[in-house]
A and B are shown apart, each in its own frame.
Chain A
Amino acid sequence: MTIKMKVRNVSKLFNDESGEGWKRVQQGQSKEQIFRETGVTVGINNVSFDVNEGEIFVIMGLSGSGKSTLVRTLNGLIPSSAGEIWVDDVDVASCSKEELRKVRREKCCMVFQHFALFPHKTVLDNVAFGLKVNGVPKEERYKRALESLDKVGLDAHADSYPGELSGGMQQRVGLARGLANDPEILLMDEPFGALDPLIRREMQDELVVLQRELKKTIIFITHDLNEALLLGDRIAIMKDGAFVQVGTAQDIVSDPADAYVKAFVADIDRSRVYTASDIAEDASRVPLTARVSDAIAAMDRTETEIIHVVKDGVPAGLLTRSDVESAKTSARVMDIMHAHPPTVPQDAYLNEIYSEAQTGMPLAVTDDDGKLVGVVSAENIFEHLASDEEETGPDSITSAAI
């Protein structure tokens, strides 16, 4: 996996002309204390991370935790006070204005929380803006802008003005504008934060679909943990300008680093964190050509009540204990099995497999080739969603943090 962006020990202090704030940060004083005593705001405090090519790296934290400041230092909109920010082989934190402009034009585009569309330009001209400042000739720039608009499904609105569009549509234009230059990295500062919940869900799903095709390196800011868990390949939790924990959704939900993260995790929707493979149990199986006696033997050996019948590893049928007990031991499993057993892909989230699980039948979990890798029962799912509910931190933390 190649590393697309490498961030090392980046800090940003606001209003620290005298350097007093920096001294105090080095001494480890808290953001609050430094602000109270010197008026210096610690925006970012010694943050380091890598972003891999093609992943969605989510930075989440409460309002004021420094997310916007951090994402703006990544493309130099806010100059950092210390540290290095490597985009490929350019250090954004120390490069010349010219190089910085080149990074912004070619590698790293941004989508804004409040869209920041130009009200005096048409949708098409908005999307073509990045190409225009980069000197792309008119014809090509409109062609590429239209392609970009097409990706977000708004090519029909090319000649409208942003003010004529709904919030969701405006942010699609914002996204199309960010994609028009075909940057390798997309910075998104709470892009869906200003949208109402239904539209937000829709946009999240669309981003997931779009990302499957685009495979951009995305740095996505949010204050909504559910959004972070849904989108993030990896998630960084930020507090008072510093990273508290960095990891996958499962890492963070199952092993929160401290009370702050725990409080966040307390009220998330677990069904969107865990996938079928996370909770799958080993499946017992017999080949299609086996006899009932083989099935009984296999079930006894693995102490299970159900067994899958597989053909070349692909689930073809299902047998329960009562099925096999009522059949002749010499019968072939293929004749008595329930054909077409319910199957789910291993990377499906639990919320996506609820409905299948409700039939009461155990679900066969399959890998990308359709081969059986495990089994999930309805009880499994509900047990897992309810589990470690009691483990979450005391209520005081929850209410303090949220």
Chain B
Amino acid sequence: MISPSDFLTIPFDDVVNSFVRGFLVPNFRPFFRAMQVPVNEVLQALDGFFAWMPMLIITLVFALVAWRVVNRTMAIATIIGFFFIDMIGLWPETMTTLSMIITSVLFCAVIGIPVGILAASSDTAWKIVRPILDIMQTVPSFVYLVPIVMLFGVGMAPGIIATIIFALPPIIRMTNLGIRNVRKDLIEASESFGATYFQILWEVQIPLALRTIMAGLNQTLMLALSMVVIAALIGAGGLGLVVNTGLGRLDVGGATAGGVGIVILAIILDRITQGFAEPSTSNTSLLGFIASIFKGQSATASDKQKA
């Protein structure tokens, strides 16, 4: 049989190689290096904080938040889960992973929410953003790693950057969706009172889209967690490293322990952020939201009755 390659072969790999090595790396290396700086700063601050804070206090805070936004069962489960992690000797690694996750999600929010808002306020912007998101979500996560290593090198920050790229799409999509779904008559009413674009955004659209944005943040968080092991391949530490080392040494026990740690962390973070995204109170302002965490249980209950 004849095939097209008998007549023409395209050296695709060479083309990519020369593009990345010959063009991107020599010309933009300093730029990519500079991009790591803010990531590193945030990561180190968080990592330092979690290392300094006693384990019991961290557990207590998480349990309290779980109690307020989910329920008492979840609070107890949080305590048991964290105690278990500590007892299998993985507390420091878990905290490193937690810092990585929080850093990734933070950057996803900082990048994703404005992009989502932009995409929601202009159909042209959405037409540009949407195919990019589609590609980001279809490219397998392993494929990210090669160019990232080429451009950023190996280590914690490159691992987190890979995680950010992988986890970014849902928060952009959900922000866009949430803002577009705000009732048109409310936008019209705001305009009729002379509100500016930013006033409408801040007073009406963002508060009303907050639940959807939170749901997006939850999905982003889960994607970030799923990258923990993969990011460890390019030098990120934490529980992912435990799993990888375990696999490399055929140490089933060690790998499983790391895996269990990830699962426990995932469940706790998932439930808590889902709690934020559920319409449990009629007050959807961000401050009220945070305040409700610290309010008494009775207040939350009466809010529920109202809603």
The answer to whether B193 and A129 have CB atoms under 8 Å apart is yes
- Is the CB–CB distance between B192 and A104 below 8 Å? yes
Say which size band chain A's interface belongs to: 20 to 34
Task: Give the residues from 117 to 163 in chain B that come closer than 8 angstroms, CB to CB, to chain A.
Answer: none
Which residues 161-212 of B sit at the A interface, judged by CB distance below 8 A? 183, 185-186, 188-196, 199, 203-204, 207-208
What 0/1 readout, one digit per residue, does chain A (111-132) give for beta carbons within 8 Å of chain B?
A: 0101011111000000001101
| A14 CB → nearest B CB, Å | 16
**Is B203 a contact of A130 with CB atoms below 8 Å?**
no
B27 at the A interface (CB under 8 A): no
Residues of B within 8 A of A187 (CB): 192
> Given A120-B208, A161-B306, are A133 and B192 neighbors across the interface (CB < 8 Å)?
no
- Judging by beta carbons under 8 Å apart, are A129 and B285 in contact? no
* Set of chain A residues within 8 Å of B199, measured between Cβ atoms: 133
Identify the closest chain A residue to B187 (Cβ): A116
Decide if B207 touches A109 in the complex (CB within 8 Å).
no
Contact, CB under 8 Å: B193 / A116: no
If the complex has contacts A133-B195, A164-B306, are A77 and B208 also in contact, measured as CB distance less than 8 A? no
Interface: A6 (CB within 8 A): no
A112 touches B306 (CB 8 A): no
> Using Cβ atoms and an 8 Å threshold, which residues of chain A touch B183?
116
A95 to B196, CA, bound (A): 16
Q: Which residue of B lies closest to A97 (CB)?
A: B196
A-B contact pairs, 15 of them (CB 8 A): A75-B192, A103-B194, A112-B189, A116-B183, A117-B189, A118-B186, A120-B282, A129-B190, A129-B193, A129-B203, A133-B194, A133-B203, A161-B306, A163-B282, A177-B193
B284 proximal to A (CB < 8 A): yes
**Could you say which residues of chain A place their CB within 8 Å of the CB of B208?**
118-120
Interface of B is mostly: helix
**Residue pair B285, A120 in contact (C-beta under 8 Å):** yes
Query: By the criterion CB–CB under 8 Å, are A109 and B192 in contact?
Result: yes
Please measure, in the bound complex, the distance between the C-alpha atom of A114 and the C-alpha atom of B189, giving whole angstroms: 11
Residues of A within 8 A of B204 (CB): 118
| A-B complex: 10 closest residue pairs judged by Cβ atoms | A105-B194, A104-B194, A116-B189, A130-B193, A110-B192, A133-B195, A116-B185, A101-B194, A120-B284, A120-B207
> Does A343 sit at the interface, judged by CB under 8 A?
no
Binding site for B on A (CB under 8 A): 75, 77, 101-105, 109-110, 112, 114, 116-120, 129-130, 132-134, 161, 163-164, 177, 181, 187
Determine which residue in B193, B194, B207, B306 has the highest number of CB atoms from chain A within 10 A of its CB, and name it: B193
Chain A residues positioned under 8 Å from B306 (CB to CB): 161, 164
Given contacts A120-B285, A133-B203, contact A102 B194 (CB under 8 A): yes
Of all chain B residues, the one with the shortest Cβ separation from A161 is: B282
Complex interface residues of chain B between 273 and 307 (CB less than 8 A to chain A):
282-285, 306
A109 to B192, CA, bound (A): 7
Given A132-B203, A133-B199, A133-B203, A116 contacting B194 (CB threshold 8 A):
no
Residue of B nearest to A133 (CB): B195
A337 to chain B, nearest CB (A): 59
Cα of A104 to Cα of B194 in the assembled complex, Å: 5
Report chain B residues within 8 Å CB of A164.
306
Q: How far is the CB of A309 from the nearest CB of chain B, in Å? A: 57
Tell me the bound Cα distance from A187 to B191 in angstroms: 14
Task: Report A-chain residues with C-beta under 8 Å of the C-beta of B186.
Answer: 116, 118
Complex contact B191–A77 (CB within 8 A)? yes
Which of A77, A109, A118 has most B Cβ within 10 Å?
Answer: A118
Assembly CA distance A74 to B190 (angstroms): 16
Knowing that A75-B192, A163-B282, A177-B193 are A-B contacts, what are 8 other residue pairs whose CB atoms are under 8 Å apart, sorted by A's residue number?
Answer: A104-B191, A110-B189, A116-B185, A119-B208, A120-B208, A120-B282, A133-B193, A134-B193
Determine the distance from Cα of A345 to Cα of B226 in the docked complex, in whole angstroms: 81
| Contact status B194-A130, CB under 8 Å | yes
Bound together, the chains give a CA A117 to CA B191 distance in angstroms of: 13
Q: How far is the CB of B292 from chain A (nearest CB, A)?
A: 14
Shortest distance between the CB of A73 and any CB in chain B (Å): 12
A117 neighbours in B (Cβ, 8 Å): 189
Report chain B residues within 8 Å CB of A102.
194
Known contacts A118-B204, A161-B306: A105-B189 contact under CB 8 Å: no
Chain A min CB distance to B210 (Å): 9
Residues of chain A with a CB closer than 8 A to B282's CB? 120, 161, 163
With known contacts A120-B208, A133-B203, A77–B192 Cβ distance under 8 A: yes
Q: Which residues of B contact A75 (CB under 8 A)?
A: 192
B262, chain A: closest CB distance, angstroms: 36
With A120-B207, A133-B199 already in contact, the answer to whether A77 and B188 are too (CB < 8 A) is: yes
- In whole angstroms, how far apart are the Cα atoms of A269 and B263 in the complex? 73
Chain B residue at smallest Cβ distance from A180: B193
